[in-house]
């Protein structure tokens, strides 16, 4: 026997019988024998609304099979369907402090590590607006090479580190591929009860490919989803050739006491370092405003998106280093805050701005922004490349920065008299938390605007060097 099947453990594959008990047992045996799992081509596996999780530790191939996931009247909304748990050895690291930009630490193992650090004594991302909150402890997540060097440097100052987690990376890549999954959507009250009926990945060096996720049965209300493909606290992940689905937008009462649209995701990443997403598209129209954006990310670094078509990219509580290349982004477009270098290249963007710097987290980008050979098709108006608003009166837990250097080389847009690089972000005179301003902005090869100006309010940036090509 060179692989395990679900049928060996009693799966019917008829689309009616609950096959989840058989699926769980099959993966348990595959893990015990270290054998891959293969689904039966043409089978339709029904997954009932009972909380059961199958643990994947071996290569899994669902090619040619379908799965129907019933999310109506769930007994537990937080249990994933498939879980890929961490592998590698937990190791101790003696870290007491770290500095912004630090690019080396001591690595006594001589092996590549995934490291998470935290300071419970300081809170960041203290959110402003309709979904306001008190933020979360300062944290960072990064790779460490065998010699102790960091492929990308630390994103915050850590005057104190209250906890450290470090784990060696597995030596091999775990492959999960194929399969068409259809979720019968929940009909719960429209409030922030995120459903986790998903494929959850927590193992470094995992590849997900050729997975399709469809959604049916959405009504005029429902609770949100936290990502059908959910990847957290790991490194060196690849997602490729997947077809996913946007979820309907529902409204709820936010913590700020006002009605807010409620985000629901098919892709969700948190604390991931070094991830590549290639040729990922969605079934729903990227310009349909009744559907929420496909993807949300939190505290990730070194993300690369290539040849993707998505209604939105969103760096929610920050990303460190991101590349978007040969993609098409729809009506919610590109929402970001973070650090390092953001490269936007050969991409079509359809938002109100090319880049929306999220005002609920201070519109901060502490690093550089490079835009090359892109096309902007504004969804509804818009006359600035960067759109932001920060009065300077709210403490987000960190200083807020506009990109230190902006380079725009090749941008095509509808014809207009003037294009601004930045809008007037509304900072009040004498505000206690003013924005740190760019050092240099260089613009050339803009097609469609008779002239380009630095800012709608030139008085905002008296010291910024502005060069037109």
- Domain end, chosen from 168, 198, 224, is at 168
Report the chain's C-alpha Rg in angstroms.
Answer: 23
On whether residue 122 sits in a domain, the answer given is: yes
Number of domains in the chain: 2
Q: Are residues 101 and 54 in the same domain?
A: no
> Distance between CA 401 and CA 433 in Å, rounded?
10
- Domain end, chosen from 138, 168, 198, is at 168
Q: Residue 263's Cα: distance from chain center in Å? A: 13
Phi-psi label, residue 35: left if phi above 0, alpha if psi -120 to 50, beta otherwise = beta
On whether residue 98 sits in a domain, the answer given is: yes
On whether residue 343 sits in a domain, the answer given is: no
Contact 191, 131 (CB under 8 A): no
List per-residue pLDDT tens for the chain, 469 residues long. Answer: 799 999 999 999 999 999 999 999 999 999 999 999 999 999 999 999 999 999 999 999 999 999 999 999 999 999 999 999 999 999 999 999 999 999 999 999 999 999 999 999 999 999 999 999 999 999 999 999 999 999 999 999 999 999 999 999 999 999 999 999 999 999 999 999 999 999 999 999 999 999 999 999 999 999 999 999 999 999 999 999 999 999 999 999 989 899 989 889 999 999 999 999 999 999 999 999 999 989 999 999 999 999 999 999 999 899 999 999 999 999 999 999 999 999 999 999 999 999 999 999 999 999 999 999 999 999 888 899 999 999 999 999 999 999 999 999 999 999 999 999 999 999 999 999 999 999 999 999 999 999 999 999 999 999 999 999 8
On whether residue 439 sits in a domain, the answer given is: no
The SS3 assignment for 64 reads coil
> Distance between CA 245 and CA 293 in Å, rounded?
9
On whether residue 11 sits in a domain, the answer given is: yes
Mode of pairing for the β-strands spanning 163-168 and 90-91: antiparallel
Full DSSP string of 343-400: EEES-EE-SSSSEEE-GGGTT-EEEEEEEEEEEE--SS---EEEE----S----SS--
- Tell me the sheet residues that pair with 291: 248
Q: Are residues 65 and 113 in the same domain?
A: no
Q: Are residues 40 and 102 in the same domain?
A: no
Q: Are residues 164 and 95 in the same domain?
A: yes
On whether residue 164 sits in a domain, the answer given is: yes
Tell me which residue range forms the domain holding 53: 4-70
Contact 41, 179 (CB under 8 A): no
On whether residue 126 sits in a domain, the answer given is: yes
> Distance between CA 469 and CA 461 in Å, rounded?
19
- Domain end, chosen from 168, 199, 225, is at 168
> Distance between CA 175 and CA 206 in Å, rounded?
6
Phi-psi label, residue 26: left if phi above 0, alpha if psi -120 to 50, beta otherwise = alpha
On whether residue 21 sits in a domain, the answer given is: yes
Kindly list the distances between the CA atom of residue 468 and the CA atoms of 270, 410, 424, in Å, as whole numbers in the listed order. Answer: 38, 12, 20
């Amino acid at each position: 026997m060179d692989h395990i099947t679900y049928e060996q453990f009693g799966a019917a594959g008829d689309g009616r019988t609950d096959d989840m008990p058989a699926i769980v047992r099959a993966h348990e045996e595959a893990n015990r024998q270290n054998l891959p799992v293969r689904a039966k081509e043409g089978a339709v596996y029904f997954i009932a609304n009972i909380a059961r999780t199958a643990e994947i530790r071996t290569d899994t191939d669902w090619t040619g099979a379908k799965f129907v996931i019933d999310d109506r009247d769930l007994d537990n909304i937080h249990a994933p369907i498939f879980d890929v748990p961490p592998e590698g050895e937990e190791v101790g690291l003696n870290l007491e402090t770290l500095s912004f930009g630090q690019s080396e630490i001591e690595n006594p193992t001589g092996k590549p590590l995934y490291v998470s650090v935290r300071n419970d004594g300081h809170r960041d991302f203290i959110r402003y607006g309709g979904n306001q909150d008190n933020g979360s402890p300062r944290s960072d997540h990064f790779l460490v090479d065998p010699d102790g060097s960091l492929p990308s440097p630390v994103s915050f100052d850590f005057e104190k580190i209250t906890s450290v987690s470090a784990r060696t990376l597995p030596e091999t890549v775990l492959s999960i591929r194929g399969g068409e999954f259809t979720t019968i959507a929940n009909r719960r009250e429209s409030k922030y009860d995120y459903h986790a009926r998903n494929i959850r990945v927590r193992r470094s060096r995992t590849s997900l490919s050729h997975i399709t996720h469809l959604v049916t049965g959405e009504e005029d209300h429902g609770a949100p989803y936290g990502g059908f493909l959910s990847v957290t606290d790991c490194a060196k992940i690849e997602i490729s050739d997947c077809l996913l689905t946007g979820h309907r937008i529902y409204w709820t009462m936010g913590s700020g006491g006002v009605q807010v649209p409620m985000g629901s995701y098919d892709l969700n990443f948190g604390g991931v370092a070094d991830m590549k997403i290639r040729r990922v598209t969605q079934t729903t129209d990227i310009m349909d405003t009744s559907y929420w954006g496909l993807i949300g990310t939190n505290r990730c670094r070194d993300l690369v998106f290539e040849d993707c078509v998505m209604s939105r990219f969103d760096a929610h509580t920050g990303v460190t280093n991101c590349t978007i290349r040969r993609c098409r982004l729809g009506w919610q477009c590109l929402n970001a805050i973070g650090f390092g270098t953001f490269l936007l290249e050969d991409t079509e963007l359809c938002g109100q701005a090319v880049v929306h710097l999220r005002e609920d987290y201070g519109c901060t980008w502490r690093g550089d922004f490079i835009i090359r050979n892109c096309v902007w098709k504004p969804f509804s108006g818009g006359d600035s490349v960067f759109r932001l608003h920060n009065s300077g009166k709210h403490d987000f837990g960190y200083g807020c920065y506009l990109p230190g250097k902006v380079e725009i080389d090749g941008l095509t847009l509808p014809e207009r008299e003037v294009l601004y690089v930045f809008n007037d972000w509304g900072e009040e005179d004498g505000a206690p938390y003013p924005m740190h301003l760019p050092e240099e902005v260089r613009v050339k090869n803009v097609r469609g605007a008779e002239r380009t100006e630095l800012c709608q309010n030139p008085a905002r940036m008296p010291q910024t060097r502005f060069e037109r090509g």
